[in-house]
């Protein structure tokens, strides 16, 4: 089984001109790629065994090679080995299912972390500045150039962009029709 996985990894890297020995390589795989490699290795290992079992079942079902056949002990040993291999493969499939569950939990955890990072909570000073900006835009007829609003509020460009990010629910931003480099702020 390990040989099949090693062969898959080696074939993954064999197309490169700067090939390094497999023992010296550092490979980064995503969960999905690792899962695909393991699944492919299991399938490669189980497919020949399944075909051997089917052929042996056909032979046993058709009555070929009765108990008095001279090589019946070899066949029994082969059947025993096949059963042992299938049990090992079933254990690997169980491990694969566990890995898939872990992968799903990790992905869900990552999505939660990303959602928390995307949520921008305004600070108290930003709330006050947000109210001031909203009042400034309202007194200007509901629309105002972002550059003019920033200058009137005397805020740095980075602080103003952070303020706009926290107010994305209450304010709309679009390009100015005469010069798309300038932004127009409006109240939603």
Domains of the chain (ranges, CATH numbers):
2-118 (1.20.120), 124-187 (1.10.10.10)
Q: How far apart are CA 173 and CA 20, in angstroms?
A: 52
Report CA-CA distances (Å) from 120 to 145, 149, 164. 23, 21, 11
Lowest average pLDDT, out of 118-122, 161-165, 170-174, goes to: 118-122
Average pLDDT taken over every residue of the chain: 80
| 49-106 tens-digit pLDDT | 888 887 777 777 666 554 555 566 777 778 888 888 888 888 888 888 888 888 888 8
Report CA-CA distances (Å) from 73 to 43, 52, 64, 163. 29, 17, 14, 81
Of 122 and 33, which is predicted with more confidence?
33
| 127-136 tens-digit pLDDT | 888 899 999 9
In the predicted model, is pLDDT for residue 19 greater than 60?
Answer: no
- Predicted local confidence at residue 40, as pLDDT: 86
What's the alpha-carbon Rg for the chain, to the nearest Å?
A: 33
User: In the structure, what pLDDT confidence band is assigned to residue 10 with cuts at 50, 70 and 90?
Assistant: low
The alpha carbon dihedral of 176, 181, 182, 183 has a sign of positive
129 neighbors 164 (Cβ within 8 angstroms): no
């Amino acid at each position: 089984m390990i040989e099949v996985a090693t062969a898959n990894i080696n074939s993954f890297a064999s197309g490169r001109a700067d090939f390094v020995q497999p023992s010296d390589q550092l490979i980064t795989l995503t969960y999905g790629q690792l899962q695909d490699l393991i699944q492919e290795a299991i399938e490669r290992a189980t497919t020949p065994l399944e075909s051997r079992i089917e052929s042996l079942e056909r032979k046993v079902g058709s009555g070929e090679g009765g108990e008095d056949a001279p090589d019946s002990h070899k066949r029994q040993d082969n059947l025993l080995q096949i059963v042992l291999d299938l049990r090992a493969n079933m254990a690997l499939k169980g491990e694969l299912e566990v890995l898939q569950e872990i992968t799903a939990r990790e992905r869900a955890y990552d999505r939660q972390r990303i959602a928390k990072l995307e949520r921008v909570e305004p600070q108290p000073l930003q709330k006050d500045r947000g109210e001031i900006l909203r009042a400034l835009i309202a007194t200007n007829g509901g629309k105002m150039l972002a550059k003019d609003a920033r200058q009137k509020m005397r805020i740095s460009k980075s602080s103003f962009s952070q303020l706009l990010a926290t107010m994305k629910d209450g304010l709309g931003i679009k390009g100015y029709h005469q010069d798309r480099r300038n932004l127009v702020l409006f109240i939603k």
